[in-house]
């Protein structure tokens, strides 16, 4: 009512994290020696492989589990993951691209107004937690969407969720509440 | 500038050591001595052929022609007719006294292979090509391999400008190879240079003098003769070079080994390059730097010509051999002074830095790839068949995503990423620029890499260079 839910807000996806399996054991040493653009972290037992085109960094374990980070969209994440699997295949491993899953999406959104955090926290008691001495933002969790929003007094909101849809829905949900506690400029 | 190339010496010493080391083994095995000799010959031939180092064997056979023109009077201005003096090859210079040179038009032609030559004050050097090089302070010229060629060019420029007091010589591009060379002796020179930090300051002063004086003779600042003498004093050994006035970078010395200096430690101005600049900048920078160095050097010489009195030249002459790396600031100053002639001078450093970051970065990337690994070309063929249907597969997958049961099965065929192409760019083009070294630290922040390397040999542009310390920056 006092919130316009049709307002167009730019939600910028900054990071998409995904995982997939290769269903085969990977020889990290071989990858480190023969792969391109790799960093071998022998102490923790993983190899980082960076791709340029979709700018992503993949963490590869010898078990065949690979975590892919840095993509800016879900499609890009998948694309990059497949590319990565392909390059591993070229190194000689019998790679099968399975269990691809987007695990986390990080997005940023900016409200055109500032927010009064203490008031907001009071109005949204169970979901919002605010500890100004620890962190300057309010942490608002939406259990149904499994999304977490960090709301700053400047109006900037950081959303993390399991996928892009959840993130968008979370922003939609929070808007009216945030709008209530906005700082009006006289 | 130092034109000493440590690489041929190093390589030769390596060859000697290896041959000696295996001599006993060969004897034990019953292999004849001539086999060993053949091996050595073959080795040396290959090095020569690869042109990895210049002048591998030229040191001893090189001869350059130098015509020394002695002013008929040390105390006269440049306009005075000069006598030519050619220093004979292979011997330390006879000591000329001003009295000897008193007569105008007295000339002696010496051809020397560039062996250490001591040129007393007030001598004008003229190379075969006719360049004039006036020295107001005693200098020592030693030969580096290929030095003669180098000297001819700069001196030509000098000659043109000697006629005009306000003129300053142009660059000496050919000095580059020399400039790249450094020997251990350089360390000595560096030490000496350290002792002469004041020399740096005299540069700008000279410049001013030059500006003000037309045909008037300038009394060079006290440092000037020192500079010239230092500049021209060369290090002993098989290096021949006309070292530039003592503009050195004490800081450089502390940073790097003398071997590295010519390559990396160009000058104070280039200090940043030393630290943060890409490794590859070194040789390039050194080249340029030396060009400018030579310019500066010649200019200083010209300054000296203009000076009327050189009483202190002799006393200033020191055995200190200094190679001028030329601080950027000084170089810039000197270059400004030259005016028109600056156009002929190719300034590689400073604002006109022609060394491009991209170029260096790309080279660094290559090196980086060396570090990171090389994709086995053979493995690339593994999935040529894979370049088939990733696209179809991906679309199929997307449609299957809703159906979880089929998901696992459908996603199996990677189809070798039909779409998932080979790397967008075959990054690992195997260039020939290779560095083999040890590392102190390799550090990365996001996509910015920093390399702290040591004790290495690098093949760059077909040439070999050695270094004791190298610092590099790269962006991935």
pLDDT digits (tens, 9 = 90+) for A86-112: 888 888 888 888 899 999 999 999 999
pLDDT digits (tens, 9 = 90+) for B379-402: 444 444 444 444 444 444 444 444
Which one of A52, A90, A99 has the shortest CB-CB distance to B379?
Answer: A90
User: Which residues in chain A have their CB less than 8 angstroms from residue B425's CB?
Assistant: 52
Between residues A169 and B306, the one the model is more confident about: A169
To the question of domain A111-181 being in CATH 3.30.310.10, the answer is yes
Between residues B21 and B258, the one the model is more confident about: B21
User: Which residues in chain A have their CB less than 8 angstroms from residue B390's CB?
Assistant: 82, 86
> What is the pLDDT, as a whole number, of residue A19?
94
Between residues B73 and A115, the one the model is more confident about: A115
Cβ–Cβ under 8 Å, residues B459 and B432: yes
Contact B408 A98 (CB under 8 A): yes
Where is A115: in which H helix or E strand?
strand A114-115
CA of B475, closest CA in chain A: separation in Å? 12
What span, in angstroms and rounded, lies between the C-alpha atoms of B318 and A46? 61
Contact A38 B372 (CB under 8 A): yes
> What is the pLDDT, as a whole number, of residue A153?
93
Cβ–Cβ under 8 Å, residues B469 and B257: yes
Q: Which residue of B has its CA nearest to A76?
A: B420
Assigned CATH for A17-102: 3.30.310.10
Contact B372 A85 (CB under 8 A): no
Cβ count within 10 A of residue B250: 16
Cβ–Cβ under 8 Å, residues B458 and B465: yes
pLDDT digits (tens, 9 = 90+) for B11-36: 889 999 999 999 988 888 888 888 88
> What residues have CB less than 8 Å from B34, skipping those under 6 apart?
none
Residue B37 pLDDT > 80: yes
- End-to-end Cα spacing for chain B: 35
> What is the pLDDT, as a whole number, of residue A8?
76
Q: Is the Cβ of A33 closer than 8 Å to some Cβ of chain B?
A: yes
Contact A98 B412 (CB under 8 A): yes
CA of A95, closest CA in chain B: separation in Å? 8
DSSP B55-77: TTTTTTT--EEEEEEEES-TTS-
Residues of chain A with CATH 3.30.310.10: 17-102, 111-181
> What is the pLDDT, as a whole number, of residue B123?
59
> What is the pLDDT, as a whole number, of residue B141?
57
> What residues have CB less than 8 Å from A29, skipping those under 6 apart?
A40
Residue A68 pLDDT > 80: yes
> What is the pLDDT, as a whole number, of residue B418?
57
CA of B402, closest CA in chain A: separation in Å? 12
What span, in angstroms and rounded, lies between the C-alpha atoms of B400 and B234? 78
Residue pairs between chains A and B whose CB atoms are closer than 8 Å: 92
Rg (CA), chain A: 20
Percent of chain B with pLDDT over 70: 20
**pLDDT, mean of residues B40-61:** 74
Residue B452 pLDDT > 90: yes
Q: Taking Cα atoms as reference points, which of B142, B117, B115, B144 lies closest to residue B56?
A: B144
Which one of B373, B411, B421 has the shortest CB-CB distance to A100?
Answer: B411
pLDDT digits (tens, 9 = 90+) for B54-107: 666 655 444 444 444 555 444 444 444 444 444 444 444 444 444 444 444 444
Window 402-431 of B, Cβ < 8 Å to A: 408, 411-412, 414, 416-417, 419-425, 427-428
Which one of A83, A91, A96 has the shortest CB-CB distance to B420?
Answer: A83
Environment class of B474 (CB within 10 Å of its CB; exposed 0-12, middle 13-18, buried 19+): buried
Percent of chain A with pLDDT over 70: 96
What token pair was written down for B267? 């000058």
Query: In whole angstroms, how far apart are CA B245 and each of A90, B120, B187, B304, B334?
Result: 58, 16, 16, 11, 12
Residue B230 pLDDT > 90: no
Residue A21 pLDDT > 50: yes
Q: Taking Cα atoms as reference points, which of B62, B259, B60 lies closest to residue B147?
A: B62
Contact A90 B382 (CB under 8 A): yes
User: Which residues in chain A have their CB less than 8 angstroms from residue B394's CB?
Assistant: 78, 82
Residue A25 pLDDT > 70: yes
Rg (CA), chain B: 28
Q: Is the Cβ of A90 closer than 8 Å to some Cβ of chain B?
A: yes
Q: Which of A83-87, B279-283, B346-350, B397-401 has the highest mean pLDDT?
A: A83-87
């Amino acid at each position: 009512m006092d919130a316009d839910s049709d307002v167009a807000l730019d939600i910028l996806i900054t990071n998409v994290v995904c995982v997939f399996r290769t269903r085969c054991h990977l020889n990290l040493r071989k990858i480190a020696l023969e792969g391109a653009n790799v960093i071998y972290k022998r102490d923790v037992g993983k190899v980082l492989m960076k791709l340029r085109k979709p700018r992503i960094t993949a963490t590869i374990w010898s078990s065949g589990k690979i975590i892919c980070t840095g993509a800016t969209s879900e499609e890009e994440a998948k694309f990059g993951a497949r590319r990565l699997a392909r390059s591993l295949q070229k190194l000689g491993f019998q790679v099968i691209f399975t269990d691809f899953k987007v695990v986390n999406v990080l997005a940023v959104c900016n409200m055109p107004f500032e927010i009064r955090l203490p008031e907001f926290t009071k109005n949204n008691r169970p979901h919002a937690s605010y500890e100004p001495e620890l962190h300057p933002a309010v942490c608002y969790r939406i259990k149904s969407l499994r999304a977490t929003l960090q709301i700053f007094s400047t109006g900037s909101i950081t959303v993390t969720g399991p996928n892009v849809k959840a993130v968008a829905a979370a922003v939609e949900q929070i808007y009216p509440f945030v709008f209530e506690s906005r700082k009006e400029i006289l | 500038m130092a034109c000493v190339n440590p690489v041929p010496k190093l390589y030769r010493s390596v060859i000697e050591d290896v041959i000696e080391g295996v001599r006993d083994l060969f004897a034990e095995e019953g292999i004849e001595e001539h086999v060993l000799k053949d091996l050595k010959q073959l080795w040396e031939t290959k090095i020569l052929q690869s042109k990895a180092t210049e002048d591998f064997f030229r040191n001893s056979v090189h001869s350059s022609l130098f015509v020394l023109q002695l002013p008929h009077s040390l105390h006269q201005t440049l306009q005075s007719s000069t006598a030519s003096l050619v220093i004979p090859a292979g011997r330390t210079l006879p000591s000329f006294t001003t009295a000897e040179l008193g007569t105008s038009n007295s000339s002696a032609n010496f051809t020397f292979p560039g062996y250490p030559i001591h040129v007393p004050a007030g001598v004008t050097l003229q190379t075969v090509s006719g360049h004039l090089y006036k020295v107001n302070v005693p200098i020592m010229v030693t030969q580096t391999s290929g030095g003669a060629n180098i000297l001819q060019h700069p001196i030509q420029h000098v000659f043109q400008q000697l006629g005009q007091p306000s003129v300053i010589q142009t660059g000496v591009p050919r000095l580059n190879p020399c400039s790249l060379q450094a020997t251990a002796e350089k360390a000595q020179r560096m030490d000496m240079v350290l002792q002469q930090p004041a020399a740096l300051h005299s540069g700008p002063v000279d410049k001013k003098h030059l500006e003000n004086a037309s045909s008037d003779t300038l009394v060079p600042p006290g440092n000037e003769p020192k500079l010239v003498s230092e500049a021209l004093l060369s290090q002993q050994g098989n290096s021949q070079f006309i070292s530039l006035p003592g503009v050195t970078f004490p800081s450089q010395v502390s940073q790097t080994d003398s071997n590295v200096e010519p390559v990396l430690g160009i000058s104070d101005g280039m200090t940043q390059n030393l630290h943060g600049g890409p490794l590859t900048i070194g040789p390039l920078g050194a080249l340029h730097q030396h060009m400018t160095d030579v310019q500066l050097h010649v200019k200083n010489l010209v300054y000296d010509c203009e000076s009327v009195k050189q009483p202190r030249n002799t006393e200033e002459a020191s055995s200190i051999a200094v190679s001028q790396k030329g601080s950027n600031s000084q170089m810039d100053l000197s270059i400004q002074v030259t005016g028109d002639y600056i156009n002929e001078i190719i300034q590689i450093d400073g604002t006109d830095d022609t060394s491009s970051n991209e170029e260096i970065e790309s080279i660094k990337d290559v090196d980086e790839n060396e570090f990171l690994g090389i994709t086995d070309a053979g493995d690339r063929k593994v999935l040529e068949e894979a370049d088939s249907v990733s696209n179809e597969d991906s679309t199929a997958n997307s449609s299957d995503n809703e159906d979880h049961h089929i998901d696992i099965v459908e996603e199996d065929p990677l189809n070798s990423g039909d779409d998932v192409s080979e790397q967008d760019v075959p990054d690992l083009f195997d260039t020939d620029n290779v560095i083999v070294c040890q590392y102190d630290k390799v550090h990365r922040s996001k996509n910015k890499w920093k390399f702290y390397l040591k004790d290495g040999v690098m093949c760059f542009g077909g040439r070999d260079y050695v270094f004791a310390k190298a610092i590099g920056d790269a962006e991935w």
